[in-house]
Amino acid sequence: MPSTIALKRKITSIKGTRQITKAMQLVSASKLRRAQEQATRSRVYRDVAYDLLQRLNVISEVERQPLFKRRTVKNRLYVIITSNTGLAGAYNANILKQLTVGFKEDQASGAKSHVIAIGSKGAQFVRRVQSVELTAAYPPFGDTPTANDVRPILNTVMDKFKSGDVDEVRVLFTAFKSTVSQEAKSLQLLPAPKIEGESSNIPITTFEPDIETVIDQVTIRLVEAQVWQGLLESLASEHAMRMLATKNATENANDLIDDYTLELNNARQADITQQLAEISGGAEALNG
């Protein structure tokens, strides 16, 4: 049985850890409320924007535009959203698992994988994977990302797809469903997938001022909406998963403190019993 001094040190150490995890839990809960409001507020707009992006893809005049050209996928670009720190449950692991599935599919089809990583966890993982190019790495954009944060990523994506450096672009993010439910998703951005069952014989559409200007500007805004919403969804998911992870850590610390306190009391009782036995034995020896 460990000594009472060692047990006291363990209890003190665990209490210090419990204070940290409890504080992190409260901070994450506070941040989660704001992040959840931001994610749900723009979710409908994202869905409508993606639906419009798909519908544009079936218009005959649009399919010849650079952002809608379908090519044999020889290079695929992934935009992945992870965190900069751990202690967030399976938040990073789920995205990296989804990314690994994409890598395996690319390897099987002979395509080369490229990655734009948001968050150091994703960048660290990609650097360890052979034959995968890390195109760019960005730190997390904090609790209040802005359009200026997303714009460099958007410009890189557009330039690489227009120039033919990549043939397909996907964004990997964690969709926020509830405090206890989040789902890692892979969404194709470019070229936009066609709506299933939609006829490709769409009548000729009139564009003002011209098709190139309209399609280019509209598509950029629609793709930006997907990346932006992915950031907001991932941010809410990260705070939710970190809140649950730190809550579990706090509860585990409480259980450990209870167990070690019981063990400490037993050690004290055993020590007292031993001392009484020694005193009784000494007294009997003197009387004898």
Predicted confidence at residue 139, as pLDDT, reads 85
Using alpha carbons, select from 127, 104, 116 the residue that is nearest to residue 78: 116
For 243-269, what is each residue's pLDDT tens digit?
Answer: 988 889 999 999 999 988 888 888 888
Q: Please name every residue paired with 171 in a beta bridge, in sequence order, or none if there are none.
A: 79, 187
Predicted confidence at residue 80, as pLDDT, reads 94
Predicted confidence at residue 288, as pLDDT, reads 58
Predicted confidence at residue 198, as pLDDT, reads 53
Predicted confidence at residue 95, as pLDDT, reads 94
Give Cβ neighbours of residue 61 (< 8 Å, ≥ 6 apart): 204, 205, 207, 211
Each residue's pLDDT expressed in tens, for the chain with a length of 288 residues:
567 888 888 899 999 999 998 998 888 888 888 888 888 888 888 888 888 888 777 776 676 777 888 889 999 999 999 988 877 888 899 999 999 999 999 999 999 999 999 988 999 999 999 889 999 999 878 777 888 888 899 999 999 998 889 999 999 999 998 888 889 999 998 888 776 655 545 555 666 666 677 777 888 888 888 898 999 999 999 999 989 888 899 999 999 999 888 888 888 887 778 777 777 777 677 775
Domains present along the chain, CATH in parentheses: 44-235 (3.40.1380.10)
Give pTM, 2 decimals. Answer: 0.81
Give Cβ neighbours of residue 136 (< 8 Å, ≥ 6 apart): 116, 117, 153, 156
Using alpha carbons, select from 157, 172, 152 the residue that is nearest to residue 234: 172
Please, are residues 65 and 211 in contact by the beta-carbon 8 Å criterion? yes
Predicted confidence at residue 102, as pLDDT, reads 93
Give Cβ neighbours of residue 277 (< 8 Å, ≥ 6 apart): none
Report the distance separating Cα 231 and Cα 252, nearest Å: 31
Could you please report the per-residue DSSP string of the chain? ---HHHHHHHHHHHHHHHHHHHHHHHHHHHHHHHHHHHHHHTHHHHHHHHHHHHHHTTSTTGGGSGGG-----SEEEEEEE--SS--STTHHHHHHHHHHHHHHHHHHHTPEEEEEEESHHHHHHHHTSTTEEEEEEE----SS--HHHHHHHHHHHHHHHHHTS-SEEEEEEEEEEETTEEEEEEEEEESPPPPTT--S-PPP---SS-HHHHHHHHHHHHHHHHHHHHHHHHHHHHHHHHHHHHHHHHHHHHHHHHHHHHHHHHHHHHHHHHHHHHHHHHHHHHH-
Q: Please name every residue paired with 114 in a beta bridge, in sequence order, or none if there are none.
A: 77, 133
Predicted confidence at residue 94, as pLDDT, reads 92
Please, are residues 140 and 118 in contact by the beta-carbon 8 Å criterion? yes
Report the distance separating Cα 280 and Cα 145, nearest Å: 73
